[in-house]
Each structure stands twice: as structure tokens, then as C-alpha cells.
Amino acid sequence: MAKLVSTNPSKNFEKIGEVDISSENEIAGKVKKAREVQKSWGSLSVKERVIYLQKVYDLFEKHREELGKLVGDEIGMPLSVRDSMEIGAGQDYFKWYLENAEKSLSPEITHEDETSQSKVYYEPTGVAAVISPWNFPWIGRLSFYRG
């Protein structure tokens, strides 16, 4: 099976690790499973989703140093930038979304008069393929996420 090799560009491309490259069939299977799971995720209330995402946040906090080192090594980022901007700011974004999810994702009345009312509903968008920025992969994912 083909491998994707991760290297550290600031250390003469020293190998950090490797992962298997998924085949088209494996990717199709993963997308199908994600779409099936998305239905149950979409049926959860915002409050219920926050409970699950809080557990993810807690895991990131628990493994913060390990993840920070890996992210920093993969892009050759200096420790000071990685700790303050990439990991610190990324965690701040994540925490903000957790604390503001109900307010930000609750249905919003955009128009109301004596005879009608218009609302905007925020719903999970489903499966997405994301190419994150190479220079700030953690914060880059979190800074645009909504839902």
C-alpha cells in the first residue's frame, strides 16, 4: 500500500511519520459512513452537539503538547509561534465556538411583521473534503468553522 510520508522541513526533511494512502473505494466507503452518521448528528440539538464537541476539546487540551509538537514539526514552525499563535489561538477559537454555539447556531428571525415571519436555520452541512492551510493547519480549520 502506498504511504504518505510526513517530514519536518526545518530539519532537512527528517521523517516524522507516515500513513496509508486510501484507495478510491476506501474513500467512497468512508464518505458513505460519514453521510450515514451525519443524519444522526443533524438530529441532535445544538446543546447535545456541544456536549460531544466539549469532549473533543478536552482531548485536544489533554494532548496539547504532543499535538503542538507534531503540527510544529510538520510545518517547521518555531516553538514560540506554534505555542502562541497556532495551538493557543486554535484552542481559543474552539472554546469560543463551544461557549457561543447556542447563540450562534440557534434559529434567527430575519423578518417579522403582522402577517409573516422569516427565520434562518443553521444546520450541519454534511461531509466535506478540506485542504487546510499548510502554515496554520489547526487555526485555519477552526477560524472558518460554523456548525
CA–CA dist 21, 1 (Å, integer):
7
What are the boundaries of each domain within the chain?
Answer: 26-142
Task: Provide the 10 A C-beta neighbour count for residue 42.
Answer: 13
Whether 8 and 17 have beta carbons less than 8 Å apart is answered as no
Instruction: Note the pLDDT tens digit of each residue in 41-95.
Output: 888 888 999 999 999 999 988 988 888 888 888 888 877 777 767 778 888 888 9
Output the CATH code of domain 26-142. 3.40.605.10
CB-based contact 31:23 (threshold 8 Å): no
Gap between the Cα atoms of 77 and 1, Å rounded = 30
The pTM (predicted TM-score) of the whole model is 0.73
Rg (CA), the chain: 19
Q: Per residue in 119-139, pLDDT tens?
A: 998 877 788 887 776 666 666
